[in-house]
A and B are shown apart, each in its own frame.
Chain A
């Protein structure tokens, strides 16, 4: 596990996917030989939070305890999750769509249409899922914190009501995450097994490795929501009752 004393660049050597998280954390490369603690302090961001994210992305078995979460400054959690959404929707999906279109454009138009329609539907599902989280789940963390810091009792009542639905929704959230990872896997299976083979190899490789990267990135993103955001939210809401 990475600690505050780990040299920041060593984290990239251990898991090169962490390079992709830097912009979402508001950090850049060129970290020199500085430690995690030093880089975070220079950029005014909580080292505990950065470590939480980097450890969860790297050590898949790692699940923080509530004690860990209570000791971590989670003010960056929602901005970080929103930045990830923006990255998936604004950068990754258009990139993959371009390559998919490059892969299928030489196929029979029925095949091409079916593949593009699948991707279009996936994109819509992803946007709807993110919009739901951003409108209905993330704001509850802000509300929960306000109550924790001492707000009116009517506010507390509202939080309590929304908290009653929290458990139900968090299981929906998890099945929605599974469904989204499954669809990427389906698309990969179709490319591996069933696509007629006249596709441009370079486009195909870009697409396949892009999908694999998105799948593992999204899977860790989902883990942060399911093992950090939701338990912490329930904890706050229970305490505010």
Chain B
């Protein structure tokens, strides 16, 4: 049974990366993309990997951090972004993140904080944005091929919960509810 949040950790210290990964593994809700030790071309890597959750050490980001984060979020609108904090950080920088994990955070709180943010972002009703994200397009194509949410979750190695939230967004953005209608949409947009 797949029920995982695809997580990308961007952190230079292997000790911290491994420790965080270990704590989240114990929770059982997270799966891990190969972690990054720097944020070089982070936008490209996010675009290629389509994570559900990005945990990043803000000191790796290049100012202006606000616009770098916005660009990454634009590529993957339903991705949650969390800061991983153990050095001094300017309050203005910290405020750019809705959730931050402090190195001294209690073990059992960490997964809970991250999951709350993932849930919030995945169910985000963004009235402005009608562009399908890369992940939403992938889900749409698989739905149009007749796969169930469970099959899609297994295929993309994401949770059913995440698949359903992508499906909800696809319907909201395209205005189409039925599988047959999505198949027509996919053909009209050369996605099939």
A186-B188 in contact (CB<8A): no
Partner among B174, B181, B187, B189 whose Cβ is within 8 Å of the Cβ of A183: B181
Knowing A189-B174, A193-B175, the reply to whether A122 touches B180 (Cβ < 8 A) is yes
Within 8 A of B (CB), among A159-210: 179, 182-183, 185-187, 189-190, 192-195
Give me 26 A-to-B residue pairs in the complex whose CB atoms sit less than 8 angstroms apart, sorted by A's number: A111-B188, A114-B184, A114-B187, A118-B180, A118-B181, A118-B183, A118-B184, A122-B180, A179-B178, A182-B177, A182-B178, A182-B181, A183-B180, A183-B181, A186-B178, A186-B180, A186-B181, A186-B184, A187-B181, A190-B176, A190-B181, A190-B184, A193-B174, A194-B185, A194-B189, A195-B188
Given the known interface contacts A121-B180, A122-B180, A183-B180, the answer about A189 and B175 at a Cβ–Cβ threshold of 8 Å is: yes
Q: Is the CB of A114 within 8 A of B183?
A: yes
User: When each residue 141-164 of chain B gets 1 if its CB lies under 8 Å from chain A and 0 otherwise, what string results?
Assistant: 000000000000000000000000
CA distance A118 to B180 in the complex (A): 6
**Total contacts A-B at CB 8 Å:** 46
Q: Cβ of A110 < 8 Å from any Cβ of B?
A: yes
> Which residue of B is nearest A113, CB measured?
B187
Nearest CB of B to A204, in Å: 16
Chain B, interface residues (CB within 8 Å), range? 10 to 19
List of B residues within 8 angstroms of A118 by Cβ: 180-181, 183-184
* Nearest 8 interchain pairs by C-beta: A186-B181, A189-B175, A114-B187, A182-B177, A186-B176, A114-B184, A194-B188, A118-B184
A residues with CB within 8 A of B: 110-111, 114-115, 118, 121-122, 179, 182-183, 185-187, 189-190, 192-195
Q: Tell whether, in the assembled complex, residue A190 and residue B185 are in contact, meaning their CB atoms are under 8 Å apart.
A: yes
What residue in chain A is nearest B176 (Cβ atoms)?
A186
B contact residues around A187 at 8 Å (CB): 181
